[in-house]
Amino acid sequence: MRIKELFINNFRNYKSLHIKPKENLNIFIGDNAQGKTNILEAICFLLQGRSFRTSHEKEIINFDSEQSKLKTELKAYNQNYSIDISLSRTKPKIIKINNSTTSKPELATNFGTIVFTPDQLSIIKGSPKERRRFLDLELASFYPQYKYYFVNYQKVLLQRNNLLKELKEKKQADTFDLLELWDNQLISYGAKILMARMEILKKLIPMAQQIHNQITSDKEKLTIRYRSSLNLNSNFREELIYDQFREVILKNRQQDYLKGQTTVGPHRDDLVFLINNKNITDFGSQGQQRTIILTLKFAIINLWSCELNDVPVLLLDDVFFELDSKRQKYIFDLLNKDVQVFITSTGMANTEKNLINIKKNAIFNVRSGLVCEEEL
């Protein structure tokens, strides 16, 4: 995917903006609070139909305006597309692909962007929930059915937990047959979720390890493990996962009853990241944590390229120039190949500017909602 033109109207601090990004790196430099991140937010909005910063979309409309308009001309899957989005204070948002009205899910299925903001360090530092969320969100791009299984699993899980609480209140540990109905559904959706997670990780992990080796000059060995509440066999097949899930569900019924909740299943699993065999959540530095997130994002881009035959646009908000110069150099090399990237930063050292390829890269200076391309 390549964004060729971007039009922003009454979006955050922008009254009106038109830019033509370059093929590879597009770097937005400016003081704090000038509107750098707003440009990335607009791109994400155009390609995913939503913001990565807020769910209150009315916040996004410029204070003095009633509505906001976004437009992009882009190339994806070797074809040209135009995407238009209108946001209004009073009416629902309108999304159009090539002038035909469409829905947010359809937009996100067709296009896509990978975002990395400082908040996403919570994938490493946060609770297992954050890591499952990362996995579930990224999976949706590769398995359109995943979201359906996921939503249904959550519904069944809630029903099962409610029943467990009810049984506990009435002290009916002997009437587990009532659980049978929910168990069957839970196991069925759960096995599909686990199967998809296993399949994606089987591809994603080796890619991530290879990229991480490059960025760290082979000095830091990355290991990623899926920590399951089931004894998942490496020889996974859907039927095996199904049987395995059934076995632990039955084994844990008494415990589930006592706790009033379902204690095993994909909703309890986690991802573990190790560098040189040490857990990165406990022992990693800020820079190592940033590097792993970036590695994961690159691996997903690789996966897109293998599975979907195109690559999404990469948005790096205020995270790139905080890496040391060696890591930056490797990443520039990786990026210069085939991805369109939008980076924000408060400044760029001369050593960093030397890495810029004039033909394919651009530096934009951002000041109070005005954007000027720098002469390179």
Contacting positions for a second copy (CB under 8 A):
30-34, 36-37, 54, 56, 59, 118-119, 121, 125, 220, 282-288, 290-291, 317-318, 322-327, 346-347, 349
337 is in an annotated binding site: no
Q: Closer to a second copy at the Cβ: 227 or 278? A: 278
CB of 33 to a second copy, least distance (A): 4
Query: Which is closer to a second copy, CB of 35 or CB of 312?
Result: 35
- Binding residue per annotation — 22? no
| Closer CB to a second copy, 16 or 54, in the complex | 54
Angstrom CA distances, 282 to 87, 128, 253, 273, 278, stand at 43, 14, 33, 10, 8
Distance CA 39, CA 202 (A): 35
Closest residue by Cα to residue 244 from 335, 34, 252: 252
To which H or E segment does residue 149 belong? helix 146-169
* 37 annotated as ligand-binding: yes
Q: How far is the CB of 276 from a second copy (least distance, A)?
A: 10
**Closest listed residue to residue 211, CA positions, set 337, 330, 332:** 330
Residue 315: CB minimum distance to a second copy, A? 14
Closer of 207 and 319 to a second copy (Cβ) = 319
Q: Which residues pair with 78 in a beta bridge?
A: none
Pairwise CA distance, residues 329 & 339, whole Å: 16
Which one, 45 or 146, has the nearer CB to a second copy?
45
**CB closer to a second copy, 6 vs 323:** 323
Q: Which is nearer to a second copy, 218 or 282 (CB)?
A: 282
Compute the Cα dihedral for 199, 202, 203, 209 and give only its sign.
Answer: positive
Smallest distance from the beta carbon of 244 to a second copy, in angstroms?
A: 32
Asked whether residue 67 is marked as a ligand-binding residue, the answer is no
Strand order from edge to edge, sheet including 2-11: 14-19, 2-11, 67-76, 79-88, 94-97, 100-102
- Residue 356 structure tokens: 């810029």
Question: Is 309 flagged in the annotation as binding?
Answer: no
In the Cβ-directed half-sphere of 295, how many Cα atoms lie within 13 Å? Answer: 29
Task: Give the containing element (helix H, strand E) for 366.
Answer: strand 362-367
What is the closest distance, in whole angstroms, from the C-beta atom of residue 156 to a second copy in the complex?
A: 27
AA identity, residue 334: L
Confirm or deny that 126 is annotated as ligand binding: no
Q: Looking at the DSSP assignment, which residues form a beta bridge with residue 364?
A: 28, 373
> Of the two residues 233 and 285, which places its CB atom closer to a second copy in the complex?
285
Rounded CA separation 262/257 (Å): 8
Find the shortest distance in angstroms from Cβ 38 to a second copy: 8
Biggest distance spanned by C-alpha atoms of the chain: 77
Q: Residue length, the chain? A: 376
d(CA 303, CA 285): 27
CA torsion through residues 280, 283, 286, 287, sign: negative
Q: Which two tokens stand for residue 128?
A: 């297992």
Q: How far is the CB of 56 from a second copy (least distance, A)?
A: 7
Give the DSSP letter of residue 121: G
Known binding residues for ATP are: 30-37
Q: Which residues are annotated as a binding site?
A: 30-37
